[in-house]
Every structure is written in C-alpha cells, then in structure tokens.
Amino acid sequence: MIDYINENFPYHIITIEDPIEYVFTNKRSIIHQRELGQDTNSFYDGLKYALRQDPDVILVGEMRDLETMALALTAAETGHLVLSTIHTNSAASAPERIIDVFPAHQQKQIALQVANTLIAIVYQRLLRHASGRGVVPVLEILVGTTAVKNLIRENKLHQIESIMQASAKQGMILFDDA
C-alpha cells in the first residue's frame, strides 16, 4: 500500500514500525520511517510527533492501546490517510474490536469516528499452500460504503457480514469467497 502511494502520489508519508520490516526508497513521495525503541518510545508517541510534521499518510505498525487508537482516529478525522494493523478474526469484526477497546461511555462517539473515517478494512490470513510448501495470503475486504458506515453508526455491527455478502460488486470479499 505504501509502495503504491509512493509510486503514484507526491505525498509526505510517515511510518511508525516495530521493527522496520521494509526500507522504502523515495519515489514520488517523501517517506520518513520511525522505529520503536530507536526513534520513538511508543506507537502513540510516534503518532503524536508525526502529526506535527504535516504528513499526508501515516502508517501505524500496530494499534495496541486505547490512546493510539484514539489519536489515529483523530488523525483520520483531520484529513490524514491512516493505515494500521489490529488483531481481529475478520474484516467485519474490526470496527467492533476498535470500539470495544474504549470505555462504554465513549463507545457511541468512537463508533461515529470509525464510521466517518472508514475507507476500507483488509483482513489477511496466511494459509498453507496446497503443495505443502509455504503459505498463501487470503484476503477479506470490507469497503466503507454508506451502508457499512450506517451500520457502524447505528451499532448494528452484527449485520456487517451480511452487507459484505451482498456487496461483491463494490469490492467486498468474504474470506470463504476469496
């Protein structure tokens, strides 16, 4: 994703990683890579400092805590493209996973932030290749359509998978169909 943006857009990209897994070379974009333990103490601190550098795109290697998730949502609300990873069981369960990290009294507001900023969720599972050698990535894709965003706003998260089943033409893919 970062490489595609780098090849096609003149953006300022900041990555915050633990560890840096791939070193990018600037193409059309300018990329600054930050590593936990070396350049910053935490994903939250790295994100906080990244926002002061006026990036167009921010990659947060992993959203592990409430503070990082809250700041990532704020960054997305203020016009930054935020890419990140989170541990979940499916693309459809990711919004609920994010919302549930927050205290009950904040969850309605967080659901609104998730709905207002969601572009897409890509879930990846690695399966053993049929030959028995190596693994193959299988993707599930949830696109932030109006219908999906409305389900998130209305706390009808259990219906997201049904929308995905009916929305293949909009680019959505369920794991079983991949």
Domain ranges for the chain, please list them: 1-85, 88-177
Phi, psi torsion values for 100, nearest 5 degrees? -70, -15
Is-contact 85 63, C-beta < 8 A? yes
**Fold equal for 1-85 and 88-177:** yes
> Which CATH number is 1-85 given?
3.40.50.300
The pLDDT averaged over each successive group of 10 residues in the chain (178 residues) is 98 98 98 98 98 98 96 98 96 97 98 98 95 95 98 98 95 90
pTM over 0.95, yes/no: no
Question: Residue 77 has what pLDDT?
Answer: 98
**Has domain 88-177 been given CATH number 3.40.50.300?**
yes
Q: How wide is the angle at C-alpha 62 spanned by C-alphas 59 and 67, nearest 5°? A: 95
- Model confidence pLDDT, tens digit, residues 80-107: 999 999 999 999 999 999 999 999 999 9
- Model confidence pLDDT, tens digit, residues 28-37: 999 999 999 9
CA distance 119 to 117: 6
Question: Residue 176 has what pLDDT?
Answer: 85
Q: How many CB atoms lie within 10 A of CB 59?
A: 23
